[in-house]
Amino acid sequence: MHPLFSPFKLASLPLTNRIVMAPLTRARAPDDVATETVALYYTQRATAGLIVSEGTPISREGQGYLFNPGIYTPAQIAGWRLTTQSVHAVGAKMFAQLWHVGRVSHPSIQTDGIDPVGASSKTAQGAMAYGLKDDGTPGMVATTQPRQLATDEVARVVQDFANAAANAIEAGFDGVEIHGANGYLLEQFLNPLVNDRDDEYGATTMDNRLRFALAVVDAVVARIGRERVGIRLSPYGRLFDMPLYDDIAATYMALVAALGERRIAYVHIMDQSGYGMNDKAAGPTVSDKIQDLLRAFRTTLPETALILAGGMTRERADQLIADGVIDLAAFGQLFISNPDLVARLRNGWPLAAPDRSTYYGGDARGYIDYPPYAAQA
C-alpha cells in the first residue's frame, strides 16, 4: 500500500488515510452560518482521512471575509453540527480552523463599521479582504489601518479562541486547528517587522513575540484537551504584507519546540512558494527551507504529527511520508474541483481544474456541482 493511503492515528483519533483536506475559504454561508449546502460540500469530500474546515471566525471582530461560517453564536454551532454529522457518516474526521484575521479586514465587515483590530497599528499594504465595495455589493476591498489591541484586550481575544474551541466541540468537530499562518493575527504578533508593540507582547524579545500564540494554545488546550488541538503555521510566508526577517528559522524552531512540550495533536505547515514566494536570488527555495525546518521539527515533536500543505502531489506526499519528513499530506485547491480526490489519487485518474472565478461567494456553481470522475467517464 502506498504510504498516502495507509491508516494513521492522530493522537487518539484513527484516520482512514493520510490525506488531509486543507482549509479553503469559500464564502458560501449566508448570515455567516453553515447551511445544508455547506454540509453537502464537505460530505462530498469526506473520503479524506481528515478535513480541516474553512477559516471559522472566533468572533465578528476576527472576520475578514463576508459569508464565512463562524463558531461564536448558537445558530453557528447548530449550523456546523449538520456538517460534522454528515462528514462522520462517510467516515472522515473533521477539525474546525479557528480564525482571527487581525488587521486583514475592513470596516464594512466589522460591527457598526468600526476599524479592525490587530497586533500592529501598521496597515497590511496591498492586502485585500472580502467585504462590501463602495456600491454596497460584495467583493475584494483593500484593508484599512487597524487599531492596535490594547494590552488588556489581548487576554479577551485569547479567551475568544478558547470559547470558540468549546463551541466547535459542541458542534461535533473532532478538534480544532488554530490559524497561526498566512499573515493573520498570530503571525502579526510573531513577525518583528509587523509587530510594533511596546508591551510584553512586543518585538523586543523572541519570548514576547511567541507569548500570544502560546497563550492561545494553552487556553484552547485547557478547554478541550491537547489531543484535540492543532495549529497551522507558514514559515517564510509573505501573504498579506508579511516581510521576511533574519531569525525566521529560529523563531519557528522555538515556537515548535514549545508546542512539542505541550504535546498537541499536530503542527500543520503551509508552504507558500506556490504563491510566487520563492527567493529570487540563487540559493535554497522556500520549499527547500521549509523541508529543512520540517526535518528539524522532528526532534522537538516526539508526540505531535506533522502535516504539510502547498503544491502537494501524490508522488511528493508518498516520498515525504516514506522518508519520515511528514505524517500527513494536505491538499487544497485540488479538493475544490475534485470531490473524489482520494479515489483519483489512488487510481491515477485525471484531475479536474478548478474554476477560479467561483472560488469566493456565489451559489452552488463551482461549489457542489463538480462531478466525480466516474460520472465524467
- 11: domain CATH number? 3.20.20.70
CA dihedral 112, 23, 80, 263 (to 10 degrees): -110
Burial class (CB in 10 A: 0-12, 13-18, 19+), 222: exposed
pLDDT surpasses 60 at 90: yes
Residue type at 158 in one-letter notation: V
Contact yes or no for 295/325 (Cβ under 8 A):
yes
pLDDT of residue 282: 40
Tell me the average pLDDT of the chain.
Answer: 93
Return phi, psi of residue 353, to 5°.
Answer: -85, 140
Contact yes or no for 216/136 (Cβ under 8 A):
no
Nearest-10 crossing angle of helices 248-262, 206-224: 30
Closest CA to 185 of 146, 221, 222: 146
Q: Which residue has the cell 536570488?
A: 281
Catalytic residue among 65, 72, 130, 184: 184
Number of domains observed in the structure of the chain = 1
Q: Is the pTM of this model over 0.85?
A: yes
Please name the residue ranges forming H helices in the chain: 36-44, 74-90, 151-170, 185-190, 206-224, 248-262, 286-297, 314-322, 333-337, 341-347, 373-376
Query: What CA–CA distances, in Å, run from 318 to 261, 286, 350?
Result: 28, 20, 18
- Number of Cβ within a 10 Å radius of residue 68: 24
Q: Which residue has the cell 472565478?
A: 357
Contact yes or no for 191/212 (Cβ under 8 A):
no
Give dist(CA 172, CA 167) in Å, integer: 9
**For the segment 233-250, what is each residue's pLDDT rounded down to a tens digit?**
999 998 888 999 999 999
| End-to-end CA separation in angstroms for the chain | 26
Q: Which three cell numbers stand for residue 232?
A: 497551522
**For the segment 129-176, what is each residue's pLDDT rounded down to a tens digit?**
989 999 999 889 999 999 999 999 999 999 999 999 999 999 999 999
298 DSSP assignment: G
Contact yes or no for 212/255 (Cβ under 8 A):
no
Domain that holds residue 14: 3-376
**For the segment 311-368, what is each residue's pLDDT rounded down to a tens digit?**
899 999 999 999 999 999 999 999 999 999 999 999 999 999 999 999 988 899 999 9
pLDDT surpasses 50 at 126: yes
184 is catalytic: yes
